[in-house]
A and B are shown apart, each in its own frame.
Chain A
Amino acid sequence: MVDWLNALTIAVTGIVSVFLVLGILSIVVSLSGRYFIRKEKEQPEQSEG
């Protein structure tokens, strides 16, 4: 006999975790990307200055 409540908990936890992990990763990578782009833009300006 399947414990459906347990199964549902497992599935909901799984779906939420997958989206949470990849969502946070997406935000973190996006922020680090912005930082690197800004740094790249600043470098030529500094060498010109």
Chain B
Amino acid sequence: MLEQFLEAFQGIGILNLSWGNMAMWVIAFALLYLAIKKGVEPLLLVPIGFGIFAANFPFTGLMDEGGLFYIFYHYGIENELIPPLIFLGLGAMTDFGPVIANPKTFLLGAAAQLGVYVAFFMALLLGFSIPEAASIGIIGGADGPTTIYLTANLAPHLLGTTAVAAYSYMALVPIIIPPIARLLTTTKERAMVMEQMREVSKGERIIFPILASIVIILLVPKSAPLITMFMLGNLFTESGVVERLANVSREALINIVTIILGVGIGATMSAENFLNPKTIYIFILGVIAFAFAVAGGVLLAKFMNLFIKNKVNPLIGAAGVSAVPMAARVVQNMGREANRDNFLLMHAMGPNVAGVIGTAVAAGVFLSIIK
């Protein structure tokens, strides 16, 4: 009986709480504070923060095989189910009108992937392996679900860190974009008013997800899980005949999977996974990736202006970093600062959604070569 009592006593959580667990709680509380008090990506950081908090109690078995959080992680994230479902919802929310009206802005979304490859090489220089470097580089795409999808495939031990870095920097887009965009543009360029966009017909909107799927998947088949769901969600909305499916994709479904995704990611953040110098490197590389992504978009816009008749305001290139629609809003504000009659929001939405496609393509290429 004494033995049983001692056994039960030794199984009490408080006696087994490590400094590492408590340090992770501090990180969890910091994320919860940022989300609740400062409004930083609350939809993701509240479940992630609470997931970290709950997973760092000793002896809960939440992340042991068969545990609740393990099931979220294993079936939702490791098996690649949730990021494509989030893409379904994002597709249903996305308006491709601006990029259809001005297709050259697709190239700005491509240029903004520069940050992915700069961070990839820098991560290699810091001693990360190629799969780890790819997972870190993709943070520069500023697309949370794609970052999670790629990291779960290539470097699952970095999942928590890359996901938190991606979502944190997405929230910091209003701080990251302006100094870089100002550095690379003149006031005259920022003040440039772009030609009014043409109206996009319903037929074009319906055909776009089909055309885009054909082009993208035929060229990069490994991007199919993300692209097919993205385009299906968009077709739900644009077809106008499956309003119930469009609604459930952009509301109930995306909310449910976001909870499972957030908790599942938070649960992977144990002290041994997170409390090491690599985490600091990943956060530094993440911000470098973002900075180069902004620079890539702006510089290509300036380069394109040397050849095209209808010039683009180089600021819209900065919106190629995805982070929809925040990056486009930042561009709009910067344009209006330079010229009160400048309305760049819809123009910036083109590279913004092109950036989402570009990052999914970059992830697909990494997968097809590395995995």
Interfacial residues, chain A to chain B (CB-CB below 8 A): 2-4, 6-7, 9-11, 13-15, 17-30, 32-33, 36-37, 40
Residues of A within 8 A of B121 (CB): 7, 11
Interface of B is mostly: helix
With A28-B211, A29-B103, A32-B204 known as contacts, the answer to whether A21 contacts B361 (CB < 8 A) is: yes
Bound-state Cα–Cα, A32 to B117, Å: 32
Which of A18, A19, A24 is most buried by chain B, counting CB atoms within 10 A of its CB?
A18
Residues of A within 8 A of B215 (CB): 21, 24-25, 28
Specify which of B101, B204, B358 is in contact with A22 (CB 8 Å cutoff): B358
With A18-B113, A22-B361 known as contacts, the answer to whether A7 contacts B100 (CB < 8 A) is: no
**A18 in contact with B365 (CB, 8 Å):** yes
Per-residue interface assignment for chain B, residues 117 to 140, with 1 indicating a CB less than 8 Å from any chain A CB and 0 otherwise = 100110010000110011000000
With A3-B130, A18-B358 known as contacts, the answer to whether A23 contacts B204 (CB < 8 A) is: no
Q: A14-B117, A20-B219, A33-B100 are in contact. List 11 more A-B contacts (CB 8 A).
A: A7-B120, A10-B370, A17-B220, A19-B107, A21-B110, A22-B106, A22-B354, A22-B358, A24-B215, A30-B104, A32-B208
**B130 in contact with A17 (CB, 8 Å):** no
How many B residues have CB within 8 A of the partner chain?
42
Which of A3, A14, A20 is most buried by chain B, counting CB atoms within 10 A of its CB?
A14
**A19 in contact with B110 (CB, 8 Å):** yes
Bound-state Cα–Cα, A4 to B369, Å: 14
With A2-B124, A11-B120, A13-B365 known as contacts, the answer to whether A33 contacts B204 (CB < 8 A) is: yes
**A23 in contact with B110 (CB, 8 Å):** yes
In this assembly, does B357 line the interface, its C-beta being within 8 Å of a C-beta of chain A? yes
Per-residue interface assignment for chain B, residues 187 to 223, with 1 indicating a CB less than 8 Å from any chain A CB and 0 otherwise = 0000000000010110110011001100110011000
Minimum CB distance partner of B109 in chain A: A22
Q: Which 3 residue pairs of A and B lie closest in terms of their CB atoms, listed nearest first?
A: A26-B106, A22-B110, A29-B103
With A7-B120, A22-B354, A29-B211 known as contacts, the answer to whether A14 contacts B110 (CB < 8 A) is: no
Minimum CB distance partner of A4 in chain B: B124
With A15-B113, A28-B211 known as contacts, the answer to whether A23 contacts B106 (CB < 8 A) is: yes
Bound-state Cα–Cα, A4 to B107, Å: 28
With A6-B130, A17-B220 known as contacts, the answer to whether A29 contacts B110 (CB < 8 A) is: no
With A23-B106, A33-B100, A40-B201 known as contacts, the answer to whether A15 contacts B117 (CB < 8 A) is: yes
In this assembly, does B99 line the interface, its C-beta being within 8 Å of a C-beta of chain A? yes
CB distance from A8 to the nearest CB of B (A): 9
Bound-state Cα–Cα, A40 to B199, Å: 12
CB distance from A43 to the nearest CB of B (A): 11
Bound-state Cα–Cα, A36 to B278, Å: 52
Residues of A within 8 A of B204 (CB): 32-33, 36
Residues of A within 8 A of B358 (CB): 18, 22
**B201 in contact with A29 (CB, 8 Å):** no
**A11 in contact with B207 (CB, 8 Å):** no
Specify which of A3, A11, A20, A30 is in contact with B103 (CB 8 Å cutoff): A30
With A10-B370, A24-B219, A32-B207 known as contacts, the answer to whether A18 contacts B130 (CB < 8 A) is: no
**B219 in contact with A29 (CB, 8 Å):** no
In this assembly, does B366 line the interface, its C-beta being within 8 Å of a C-beta of chain A? yes
